Structure 1
Amino acid sequence: MTKLEDHLEGIINIFHQYSIRLGHYDTLIKRELKQLITKELPNTLKNTKDQATIDKIFQDLDANQDGQVSFKEFVVLVTDVLITAHDNIHKE
């Protein structure tokens, strides 16, 4: 497996690590998304301990407004974080 493929698999595994409800391995509820963000992205996303921030992130990601974030919806967050990290590297 290449380094990039390994990292992609890692993102999938992190998602599954937090989608822990029995029978719901492909969606995150707000509590699970908050745990993922606060534990896995504490230096990347600001104000993650603020519930209003978590609510806004969740609302923005939950495109179909079903009260859950699917992996496809979660990838939007990953993409945004990657773009920001890329932009910040070029500012240094």
Structure 2
Amino acid sequence: MTTALEKALATIVITFHKYSGKEGDKFKLNKNELKELLMKELPAFSSKRMDPTEFQKIMSDLDHNKDNEVDFQEFTCFLACVSMGFDEFFRSCPKLPLPGK
């Protein structure tokens, strides 16, 4: 039986590869692929209009090796930061039941 964490990890990998390689390197996200992923998979990013300068800042911050693409390692670092932000946010909320509990 697959655990919730195993399913979550598989979802991260599958989601990355759903968008990577539509253009160019199939193991990296270029600017257009990253923007599409953020808009479709993380609605918080699409709920506010991201101007080109703001998006370029995000891309630059994620692209540690400065190759103008985001590889899986860079993407997972980003997800770790987003997860930490969610954790901080939910620490200030009243006790909410976790999924599956």
In the superposition, the TM-score normalised over structure 2's length comes to 0.81
Residue number in structure 2 paired with 1:83: 84
Deviates more, 1:23-32 or 1:51-60: 23-32
* RMSD (Å) for aligned C-alpha atoms: 1.9
Q: Which has the larger radius of gyration?
A: 2
Stretches of structure 2 lacking an aligned partner (at least 5 in a row): 94-101
CA distance in 1, matches of 2:45, 2:87: 12
CA distance in 2, matches of 1:53, 1:69: 16
Alignment of 1:1-92 (within 5 A): 1-21=2-22, 24-43=25-44, 47=48, 49-92=50-93
Cα deviation per residue 1:27-69 (whole Å; 9 max; x = unaligned)? 0001110011111112267645322221111100100101110
Stretches of structure 1 lacking an aligned partner (at least 5 in a row): none
- How many residues of Structure 1 are paired with residues of Structure 2 in the alignment? 92
Indicate conservation of the 8 Å contact 2:38/2:45, yes or no. Answer: no
Indicate conservation of the 8 Å contact 1:38/1:48, yes or no. Answer: no
Runs of 4+ off more than 6 Å: none
State the 1:20 CA deviation.
3.2
**CA separation of 1:44/1:54 partners in 2, compared to 1, >3 Å: closer, same or farther?**
closer
Indicate conservation of the 8 Å contact 1:37/1:48, yes or no. Answer: no
CA distance in 1, matches of 2:82, 2:17: 19
Q: Which residue identity is paired with 1:32?
A: E
Which structure would you say has the larger RCO, counting Cα contacts within 8 Å and 6 or more residues apart? 1
